[in-house]
Chains A and B, each alone.
Chain A
Amino acid sequence: MIIEVNHVSKQFEDGKYALSDVSLSIEKGEFVTILGPSGCGKTTLLRCIAGFQVVSSGDILLNGEDVSQMPPHKRPVNTVFQKYALFPHLNVFDNIAFGLKLKGFDKATINLKVKAALKTVGLTDYEERDVDSLSGGQQQRVAIARAIVNQPEVLLLDEPLAALDLKMRKDMQLELKEMHKKLGITFIYVTHDQEEALTLSDRVVVMSEGKIQQIGTPTDVYNEPQNCFVADFIGESNILSGTMIRDKRVRFCDQEFDCVDEGFGEDVPVDVVIRPEDIYIWATDKSVQPSLSEYDPDDRVPKGKFTKWYGVVESSIFKGVHYEMIVKTENGYEFMVQDYHEFLPGTEVGMLVKPEDIQIMRKEHYIYNYFEGEVQKNGKVRFIDADWDVLPESIEGMNPGDKVKVKVAFRAIDLQDHEEEGTLSGDVHFILFKGNHYHLTIRTDEGHDLYVNTNDVWDDGDRVGIVIRPEDILIDKL
């Protein structure tokens, strides 16, 4: 492999970890995309590989050589910056020739190489132009030419297409893919656009909050997400809580389904992921939508022993390529379904999904929040940096200063609009819709994470007050 990132962590002065124990290996000639939302650490990781940031711990190997302490100008990598960073005092030719001149090539060689690079990016005859006379897309190509003309072993691209409009972006994506095939060098690409990542890459590295969530090919990451974050971040998903009855049999939405995953055990709580486009839908009651009487579901819905479940269409949105519908079942679950036909709100429908399209994931947290607490002098228990009222019998026989295990169910936490009404304040950090409820991650001001299940609708970033009734705080001796 050409690049090895070993247990790299990067901490900034304010104590926050931009990268936490990140490990990754990249093969020669691969197109790897680091994908994640803003602030996930993807740019920091790229900058560490480039040398603009020094890692706090861990090391980075380039061709087996430890480059962690090597300054950027000595590394055999070149970067294409997000805002191009073209030298305004030089024209196109001199910009591209910059690196070559530093290496000491003679004029004739430089001329040949620059012309070849311009040809590769499709800007022949632009040598004399001033960089500020170029459009965004042209500037980006000059930036790419300037990097590849040095024939680096690895090309780093930091969201290079972010500043371009949609059409230009799509065109450049194809060109970049072509360039990659033609040049044969390793590309490491950073983006927050998951579609871009899926289009361009050989492998995708999904990151969130400084940690790697999953590494895999685009199909792996799309069809078989390993956790809720990846399932939610990439594409649209239906994520529900379920139970793995036994190998290849799962229960969710109060029904049993065949699936293809095994090895989870028996009667194990799991998370189930179904992509909206994988749900087959047909109208059971065509009276609401007479136009559907022409549509014979037998043509499209697979036959066989598949579990069917039923609901009523709540909403339907035209998305150009398909319609996106929300269907609500009688037992209160909402499913997002995509289909080429429109099913109007109010239509009774049946749904079906093939076993291979049901993705099972291990649950990361189940029913309870677990904390470490300490009994206080005033009969309260302190955990997550706040004092809470508890039932006297739960701390019977304990003395102030005793350490205890605290258990609070997801369902037992109340969130208030007005933070003063809560014992503690926090922000809504992550929202996961689980079909019939929301699974929220609340981050307190001190940085603790609480998981809450609620049917209330909250927004990302909402400020909340946290209330837990004394009877819901379950205490065990440590």
Chain B
Amino acid sequence: MAASRRTWAWPYLLFLILFVVLPLVLILFYAFTNGEGQFTLYNFVRFFHTTEAVNTLIYSLAIALITTIICLLLGYPAAFIMANADFKTPQVMALLFILPMWINFLLRTVATVELFNMFGLPLGEGALIFGMCYDYLPFMIYPIYNTLQKMDKSLIEAAEDLGADKREVFTKVILPLSVSGIYSGIVMVFMPTVSTFAIAELLTHNKITLFGSLIQRSFGEGGIAMWNYGAALSLIMLVIIALTSFFDNGEKDDSQKGGLI
């Protein structure tokens, strides 16, 4: 049986090699070489010397951080309410949160632009943060909701029995036990928001540039010469994302990951 299972794995292995391993190798190759294929660290040096590029990176990180924090502040209460409601309410609420996600995010972003225009609100940084939070809020809510829902309700009774009032029950039992959901949510919001750029272009009329745009541009214009630079930028981004994925506090497998657009 094991032998035939392994043979069935070949197509997936092939897929992994072609579309994951190979591209990574290519990026590594381009990042560490110049136009002639010689090993060099020039691409990285160039990045760190271009203040504009470095600022963009820092700015992107800041935006991602702000978005994550806002999503956390909005998402936790939402997840809490959903987890504590009875029967139909969580399902209805869940549906209301999922529905927008079924619609392509570019469409939603364009619609947000129109909405802002309709209300006469200026596009720009505010619109950017609004759009990002709107897009990624469900990713914060679900892991937290999941963790809260799976929590043993008798723990709350035990805490009350031992003398905890409602506030103490929350801070001493519910909050600590939902931490794994919070970490999950943070990671699932922060990672994509670091690399996003299309939303920024739409919601700020191209006035604000995010790091993702930098990468895009180096592969769009400038010909092959910029590919090396772009690859280096991509690698930097990859490292940042890889680092954040370790920020999961060593949680167990039953948390939700993935679902990145």
* B158 touching A79, Cβ below 8 Å: yes
Residues of the B chain whose Cβ atoms lie less than 8 Å from the Cβ of A87: 155, 158-159, 173
* B177 touching A73, Cβ below 8 Å: no
Interface 0/1 of A201-227, CB less than 8 Å to B: 000000000000000000000000000
Given A73-B165, A85-B154, A89-B177, verify A98-B159 contact (CB < 8 Å). Answer: yes
* A81 touching B158, Cβ below 8 Å: yes
Give the distance to chain B from A227, nearest Cβ to Cβ, in Å: 34
Bound Cα distance A99, B155 (Å): 13
Cβ-neighbour of B162 out of A71, A78, A88 (below 8 A):
A78
Please count how many residues in chain A sit with their CB below 8 Å of the partner chain's CB atoms.
23
Give the distance to chain A from B86, nearest Cβ to Cβ, in Å: 11
Give the distance to chain B from A67, nearest Cβ to Cβ, in Å: 14
* A73 touching B157, Cβ below 8 Å: no
Bound Cα distance A246, B187 (Å): 84
Cβ-neighbour of A102 out of B154, B157, B168, B177 (below 8 A):
B168
Kindly identify, within residues 69 to 89 of chain A, every residue whose CB is under 8 Å from any CB belonging to chain B.
Answer: 71-73, 77-79, 81, 83, 85-89
Cβ-neighbour of A73 out of B152, B155, B163, B173 (below 8 A):
B163
| Interface check A319, CB cutoff 8 A | no
A149 closest partner in B (C-beta): B162
Residues of the B chain whose Cβ atoms lie less than 8 Å from the Cβ of A328: none
| Interface check B161, CB cutoff 8 A | yes
* B164 touching A73, Cβ below 8 Å: yes
Residues of the A chain whose Cβ atoms lie less than 8 Å from the Cβ of B158: 79, 81, 85-87
* A85 touching B162, Cβ below 8 Å: no
* A88 touching B165, Cβ below 8 Å: no
Residues of the A chain whose Cβ atoms lie less than 8 Å from the Cβ of B155: 85, 87
B177 closest partner in A (C-beta): A89
Query: Of residues B154, B161, B163, B164, which shows the largest number of chain A Cβ atoms within 10 Å of its Cβ?
Result: B161
* B161 touching A73, Cβ below 8 Å: yes
Given A87-B173, A98-B162, verify A81-B157 contact (CB < 8 Å). Answer: yes
Total residue contacts A-B, CB cutoff 8 A? 55
Given A89-B176, A102-B168, verify A83-B154 contact (CB < 8 Å). Answer: yes
* B177 touching A79, Cβ below 8 Å: no
Cβ-neighbour of A85 out of B157, B168, B172 (below 8 A):
B157
| Interface check A50, CB cutoff 8 A | yes
| Interface check A10, CB cutoff 8 A | no
| Interface check B160, CB cutoff 8 A | yes
Residues of the B chain whose Cβ atoms lie less than 8 Å from the Cβ of A81: 154, 157-158
| Interface check A52, CB cutoff 8 A | yes
* B163 touching A102, Cβ below 8 Å: yes
* B160 touching A72, Cβ below 8 Å: yes
* B161 touching A102, Cβ below 8 Å: no
Residues of the B chain whose Cβ atoms lie less than 8 Å from the Cβ of A88: 177
| Interface check A359, CB cutoff 8 A | no
A83 closest partner in B (C-beta): B154
| Interface check A377, CB cutoff 8 A | no
Bound Cα distance A98, B163 (Å): 9
For the side of the interface on B, what is the size category? 10 to 19
* A150 touching B162, Cβ below 8 Å: yes
Given A85-B154, A85-B155, A89-B177, verify A50-B161 contact (CB < 8 Å). Answer: yes
A101 closest partner in B (C-beta): B172
Kindly identify, within residues 28 to 43 of chain A, every residue whose CB is under 8 Å from any CB belonging to chain B.
Answer: none
* A71 touching B168, Cβ below 8 Å: no
Residues of the A chain whose Cβ atoms lie less than 8 Å from the Cβ of B165: 71, 73
| Interface check A146, CB cutoff 8 A | yes
Bound Cα distance A68, B157 (Å): 17
Query: Of residues A99, A103, A147, which shows the largest number of chain B Cβ atoms within 10 Å of its Cβ?
Result: A99
Give the distance to chain A from B70, nearest Cβ to Cβ, in Å: 27
Give the distance to chain A from B179, nearest Cβ to Cβ, in Å: 8
* B154 touching A72, Cβ below 8 Å: no
Bound Cα distance A473, B158 (Å): 55
Kindly identify, within residues 86 to 104 of chain A, every residue whose CB is under 8 Å from any CB belonging to chain B.
Answer: 86-89, 98-99, 102-103
Bound Cα distance A99, B152 (Å): 19
* B168 touching A72, Cβ below 8 Å: no
Residues of the B chain whose Cβ atoms lie less than 8 Å from the Cβ of A79: 157-158, 161
Interface 0/1 of B117-158, CB less than 8 Å to A: 000000000000000000000000000000000001011011
Bound Cα distance A425, B165 (Å): 49
Give the distance to chain A from B20, nearest Cβ to Cβ, in Å: 36
Bound Cα distance A150, B154 (Å): 19
* A71 touching B160, Cβ below 8 Å: yes
* B163 touching A103, Cβ below 8 Å: yes
Cβ-neighbour of A78 out of B154, B161, B168 (below 8 A):
B161
Bound Cα distance A102, B155 (Å): 16
Give the distance to chain A from B154, nearest Cβ to Cβ, in Å: 4
Bound Cα distance A84, B62 (Å): 45
* A102 touching B164, Cβ below 8 Å: yes
Bound Cα distance A99, B177 (Å): 18
Interface 0/1 of A144-163, CB less than 8 Å to B: 00110010000000000000
Residues of the B chain whose Cβ atoms lie less than 8 Å from the Cβ of A89: 176-177
Residues of the B chain whose Cβ atoms lie less than 8 Å from the Cβ of A52: 157, 160-161
* B161 touching A72, Cβ below 8 Å: yes
Residues of the B chain whose Cβ atoms lie less than 8 Å from the Cβ of A77: 161
Bound Cα distance A99, B159 (Å): 8
Cβ-neighbour of A72 out of B152, B157, B176 (below 8 A):
B157
Kindly identify, within residues 162 to 185 of chain B, every residue whose CB is under 8 Å from any CB belonging to chain A.
Answer: 162-165, 168, 172-173, 176-177
Give the distance to chain B from A80, nearest Cβ to Cβ, in Å: 9
Bound Cα distance A208, B100 (Å): 52
Bound Cα distance A383, B168 (Å): 56
Give the distance to chain A from B156, nearest Cβ to Cβ, in Å: 9
- Give the top 7 A-B pairs by smallest Cβ distance, nearest first: A99-B162, A85-B158, A85-B154, A102-B163, A72-B160, A79-B161, A89-B176
Chain A residues packing against B (C-beta within 8 Å): 50-52, 71-73, 77-79, 81, 83, 85-89, 98-99, 102-103, 146-147, 150
Q: List 18 A-B contacts (CB under 8 A).
A: A50-B161, A71-B165, A72-B161, A73-B162, A73-B163, A73-B165, A78-B162, A79-B157, A81-B158, A83-B152, A83-B154, A85-B152, A87-B158, A102-B162, A102-B164, A103-B163, A147-B161, A147-B162
